[in-house]
Amino acid sequence: MANGNGKTGIGEKIKEVSDKVWGSQVAESILRPGSPFKKGYSDSPRNRSYVVMNNVLYHLHPVKVKRHGVKLSYTLCLGGLSFFLFILLTITGIFLMFYYTPSAETAYADIEALSTNVAFGSLVRNMHRWGAHLMVLSVFLHMSRVFYHGAYKPPREFNWVVGVVLLFLTLLLSFSGYLLPWDQLALWAVTVGTNMAGFVPVVGNEVKFALLAGVEVSGATLLRFYVLHVLALPFILVIFLAVHFWRVRKDGGISGPL
């Protein structure tokens, strides 16, 4: 297209190239109908629906949501933030797993090396730690928000119960991660924590023994907490998360306005 002087402008060239890329067979095959990146996407109610329906991640959401739910002041996005933090913790946690061995001999040295020798190691470890604390906080605040809105009332009773399970799983995840640096803070915080579990009547000592893999914190405890932390508890948590999200949708979306 001429722009006055018969030359093609840089903007037009970019458009030409991007049209070629996004109109190619590869892009066409990847992008489902309604994707905003698809060539020729236009903003229409139909396409707005497709964006949500045709995307594996977005389709957690309904096509439309209640208007009041979009306001930040209603939910403060606390449930969403908890989920984001979980994702963030998964990503940073996978990074940390590359540099960590769950044995009493090497664990501490691994953390030290991670903080000093590994590129971005300190940053990622910090992110993992503060993200975990924030997640405990946001899950708890999410629960408080739900309570204050009375959003646990029928038909959402079961989802509230699932949510309580998720809170305890979050606490357990955070607690099991506490031991992994194998420093004085970790050792004695876990000692105090598991001692509290030992006060449970009838099964207290059994629970404590199962957690510690012995009568007191040891190298076996470290391995146990590690496996719980990186595999067992996230696995259970994801299952409950799926049920939680599913029920949010099936119980009629987020609760009504006050």
Partner 1 sequence: MTEIPESLLRRSAEAKAKALGLPVEQVLAEMKGEAPPTPAPPSVEPEAAAETETTAAAEMEESAERSAEIEEAVEAVDDEPAPKEEVPAEPAAETEPDVVADTEADVPPAPPTEAPPIEDSEEALTPPASAEPSDEAGPETAPPSPPPAELPPEGGETVEPAAAAVTTAVEDRPTPEGDGAGDGAGSGNGADGGNGAGNGAGKVAAVVSTRPTVPPKGTPEGVRTQRLLTVVKARAIQTVKAEPTDKVNTWPHLMLMEFGALLAITGLVVIMSVVIHSPLLDPANFNATPNPSKAPWYFLGLQELLSYFDPQIAGVTVPTITGIIGFMIVPFVDKNPSTRPSDRKFAIALYSVFLAGAATLTIFGVLFRGLGFNFSYPWKDGVYFDVLKDWVQFE
Q: Which residues in 194-223 contact partner 1 (CB under 8 A)?
A: 196, 199-201, 204, 216-217
The footprint of partner 1 on this chain (CB under 8 A) covers a number of residues equal to 84
H-run or E-run covering 129: helix 121-148
Cα→Cα distances 183→16, 126, 194, 209, 224, Å: 59, 16, 16, 21, 17
Regarding 56 and contact with partner 1 (CB under 8 A), the answer is no
- Measured from the CB atom, the residue of 19 and 105 that comes closer to partner 1 is 105
- Measured from the CB atom, the residue of 14 and 161 that comes closer to partner 1 is 161
Regarding 256 and contact with partner 1 (CB under 8 A), the answer is yes
Whether residue 102 contacts residue 177, with contact meaning beta carbons closer than 8 Å, is answered with no
- Measured from the CB atom, the residue of 22 and 160 that comes closer to partner 1 is 160
Regarding 104 and contact with partner 1 (CB under 8 A), the answer is yes
**From candidates 31, 167, 207, 236, binder to partner 1 by CB under 8 A:** 167
- Any idea what the Cα angle at residue 214 is, between residues 240 and 194, rounded to 5°? 55
**From candidates 134, 207, 241, 243, binder to partner 1 by CB under 8 A:** 134
Cα→Cα distances 154→91, 145, 159, 253, Å: 36, 17, 10, 13
Give the integer Cα–Cα distance in Å for 106 and 138: 33
Q: Tell which residue, 153, 144, 147, 164, has the closest CA to residue 252.
A: 153
**From candidates 86, 95, 102, 127, binder to partner 1 by CB under 8 A:** 127
Regarding 113 and contact with partner 1 (CB under 8 A), the answer is no
Scan residues 9-38 and list those touching partner 1 (CB under 8 A): 36
**From candidates 101, 103, 117, 144, binder to partner 1 by CB under 8 A:** 144
**From candidates 27, 48, 118, 241, binder to partner 1 by CB under 8 A:** 48
What CA dihedral angle connects 135, 137, 142 and 145, to 10 degrees? -170
How far apart are CB 30 and partner 1 at their closest, in Å?
Answer: 18
How far apart are CB 16 and partner 1 at their closest, in Å?
Answer: 27
Give the integer Cα–Cα distance in Å for 80 and 70: 12
**From candidates 62, 213, 214, 241, binder to partner 1 by CB under 8 A:** 62
